[in-house]
Amino acid sequence: MSVLNSEEIRALAPMQWLVECLQKSFRTECIVPVRQVAQMPDGTDERLHLSIPAFDPKGGRGVKLATVFPDNQANRLPPIQAAIVSCSISSSGRGCGTR
């Protein structure tokens, strides 16, 4: 498993390539269940945890995990933090999510 920072992602996935991948994925059939939204127990009702899965009928899958903390802005921190976990079809596969 690889964990990439923002600079590594920009180097490995140029914007033009990402746009092409998004255009291709919007033309294919994907399974996108309703996102799960959970209120965080340690704050106001505005603090949220989001889980947004997506599945490719050929076996690719991924999930976006995000937290929403609107009060972070008072401390000059981003109110939304997120990570995307992408799983390739196989260990040797190289699809849009595994580049």
Query: Where do the structural domains in the chain lie, given as residue ranges?
Result: 6-98
Fold of 6-98: ornithine cyclodeaminase, domain 1 (3.30.1780)
Task: Write down the pLDDT at residue 42.
Answer: 75
Distance, in Å, from the CA atom of 85 to the CA atom of 83, rounded to the nearest integer, reads: 7
Distance, in Å, from the CA atom of 35 to the CA atom of 2, rounded to the nearest integer, reads: 25
Name the phi and psi angles at 77, rounded to 5. Answer: -115, 155
At residue 79 the predicted structure's pLDDT band, cuts being 50, 70 and 90, is very high
The structure's pTM equals 0.69
3-class DSSP state of 68: strand
Task: Write down the pLDDT at residue 99.
Answer: 35
3-class DSSP state of 36: strand
